[in-house]
């Protein structure tokens, strides 16, 4: 009985810091929701209405921004998986795991502004990539201030969030499982498709959701690499909150962004669980 009480006390103590952090987050979300239901078009809370949401949903311009944000988020997620998965496999098999992992984590160690300005120097019209093309007498198509530039910057930034969860899943694969597959005559490709990939799905799912969610709400990359010429939901929120000072509409867009990320994430998780239920703990 005493041991059980001690465990409960420790659980409460460990839960307390998270609860303290959760309070201001929930309070800010509640305030955001209240602003989104306001009838005004300033920084004041007035009345109660759904007009801000109706205005967003009825306007094709805002729907275009929403679709652009979804497209960039999908592009970054697919790109991060395409690059991050082979890197994860290499680190998992390499005897120098720590060294390669440190290299992968470099984007997270470097300040976001430094990383982004680095890509400006590479992708700009007089940048390193353009200079390399000119050496061969070629003209580089415009990349800077396009969705492609935003995607490149965000893939570089978010690759660690794919690699780390994948490595966690790959480390759960026992050498005996691989040996059993080889003993039964499975080649490298069959071993990958029937053993390695299915068992890495939980990490792939977690990493993909993280990358998608952070891309959906990214702000620095669309400002610097997109040059404010590629509108995303986060840019629209900043515009409404800072320049237009229409906080109710900005708050409504923020709620739409949060709900969209949750729905996309839940939909993706459900799809993965249906396809690989026995590997990710259910259907």
pLDDT at 207 (0 to 100): 93
pLDDT at 43 (0 to 100): 65
pLDDT at 262 (0 to 100): 93
Rounded-to-integer distance, Cα 180 and Cα 165, Å: 25
pLDDT at 283 (0 to 100): 46
**b/e map 116-141, b = 16+ CB within 10 Å:** beebeebbbeebebbeeeeeeeeeee
pLDDT at 238 (0 to 100): 93
Rounded-to-integer distance, Cα 74 and Cα 77, Å: 5
pLDDT at 160 (0 to 100): 92
pLDDT at 125 (0 to 100): 82
pLDDT tens string for the chain (283 positions)? Answer: 455 655 666 777 777 787 788 888 888 888 888 888 888 766 667 778 888 899 999 999 999 999 999 999 999 999 999 999 999 988 888 888 888 888 888 888 888 888 888 888 888 888 888 888 888 877 878 888 999 999 999 999 999 999 999 999 988 877 777 777 666 666 778 788 777 888 888 899 999 999 999 999 999 999 999 988 899 999 999 999 888 888 889 999 999 999 999 999 999 888 888 876 666 655 4
* CATH number for the segment(s) 60-228+264-275: 1.10.3720.10
């Amino acid at each position: 009985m005493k041991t059980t009480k001690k465990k409960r006390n420790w659980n409460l103590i460990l839960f307390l810091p998270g609860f303290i952090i959760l309070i201001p987050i929930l309070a800010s979300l509640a305030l955001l929701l209240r602003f989104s239901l306001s009838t005004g078009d300033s920084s004041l809370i007035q009345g109660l209405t759904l007009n801000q949401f109706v205005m967003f949903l009825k306007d094709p311009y805002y729907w275009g921004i929403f679709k652009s944000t979804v497209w960039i988020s999908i592009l970054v997620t697919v790109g991060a998986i395409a690059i991050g998965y082979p890197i994860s496999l290499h680190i998992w098999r390499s005897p120098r795991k720590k060294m390669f992992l440190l290299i992968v984590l470099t984007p997270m160690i470097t300040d976001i502004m430094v990383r982004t300005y680095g890509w400006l120097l590479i992708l700009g019209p007089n940048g390193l990539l353009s200079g390399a093309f000119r050496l061969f007498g070629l003209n580089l198509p415009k990349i800077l201030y396009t969705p492609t530039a935003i995607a490149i910057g965000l893939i570089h930034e978010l690759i660690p969030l794919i690699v780390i969860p994948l490595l966690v899943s790959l480390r759960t694969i026992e050498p005996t499982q691989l040996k059993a597959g080889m003993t039964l005559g499975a080649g490298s490709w069959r071993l990958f498709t029937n053993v390695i990939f299915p068992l890495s799905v939980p990490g792939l799912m977690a990493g993909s959701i993280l990358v998608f969610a952070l891309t959906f709400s990214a702000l620095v990359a669309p400002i610097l690499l997109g040059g404010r010429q590629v509108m995303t939901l986060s840019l629209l929120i900043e515009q409404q909150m800072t320049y237009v000072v229409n906080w109710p509409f900005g708050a409504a867009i923020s709620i739409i962004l949060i709900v969209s990320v949750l729905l996309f994430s839940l939909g993706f998780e459900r799809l993965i669980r249906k396809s690989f239920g026995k590997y990710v703990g259910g259907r």
